[in-house]
Amino acid sequence: MYPPHTGVEMTVVIYDCLKEWNLDKKVFCITLDNVTSNDSLQTILKGYLNLQNTSLCDGEFFHVRCCAHILNLIVQEGLKAASDSLFAIRESVKHVRGSDGRKQKFEQCVKQVEIDINVGLRLDVSTRWNLTYLMLESAFPYEKVFACLHLHDRTYVYRPTLDQWRRAEKICEVLEPFNEITNLLSGSGYPTFNLYFMKI
């Protein structure tokens, strides 16, 4: 679809497709992300379908919020309670990944601590909680390495405390099922609506 992507323009395109595919009398609900233009789209489209008496249940259940987005809001709110632990680990990963010299020091510490791990450190994006989960998961095996790095690198100042590591482990345990559910609901090769209630 060419711009503009306003609710009105998107409604026209979707309604034309529904008519062309002979689906305009078979739409029960529409799932959209939480964007203002989508809110107006669903209101206008529901109005079109109501004018033709084609909405099922008078459109009462027409707009279904995106479950992955709802899960994201829940998890983002929960992560606020552990922001200090997340900050310390995020800054530690940033520090190591910040230069080749730091990466070399980190690799030397890996050898010194004598751990055999092939998982690299992943940096998250604070607005995407599932990447925060993956960052934590990748950082845990290196807890002792970060302690060693603190002794060998004077510029490394964000070393997580033991308490922050333990809190982060608990967070990761809580996030694991959310991560599984989000991955399942984000699938594109199979229907997902029927999976929602059982997983939630």
Tell me: the pLDDT tens digits for 133-189? 899 999 999 999 999 999 988 999 999 999 999 999 999 999 898 888 888 877 778
- Report whether pLDDT(61) > 80: no
Alpha carbon 113 to its chain's center? 33
Q: For 62-89, what is the mean pLDDT? A: 82
pTM score > 0.75 for this model?
no
Same domain membership, residue 101 and residue 18: no
* Residues 14 and 37 sit within 8 Å (Cβ to Cβ): no
The per-residue pLDDT for 190 is: 73
Q: Which domain holds residue 158?
A: 73-185
Which of 21, 18, 20 is closest to 41 using CA atoms? 18
Give dist(CA 87, CA 8) in Å, integer: 42
Please enumerate in sequence order all residues whose Cβ is within 8 A of that of 114, keeping only pairs 6 or more positions apart, or say none: none
**Candidate from 26-30, 82-86, 89-93 with smallest mean pLDDT:** 26-30
Q: Of 21, 41, 65, at which residue does a domain stop?
A: 65
Same domain membership, residue 124 and residue 59: no
Q: Strand pairing partners for 128?
A: 125
Same domain membership, residue 118 and residue 58: no
Same domain membership, residue 164 and residue 80: yes
- Report whether pLDDT(26) > 90: no
Mean pLDDT, the chain, rounded, equals: 84
Q: How big is the chain by its Cα radius of gyration, in Å?
A: 24
Structural domains counted in the chain:
2
Same domain membership, residue 34 and residue 81: no
- Report whether pLDDT(40) > 90: no
**Torsion angle of C-alpha atoms 34, 37, 40, 45, degrees rounded to 10:** -100
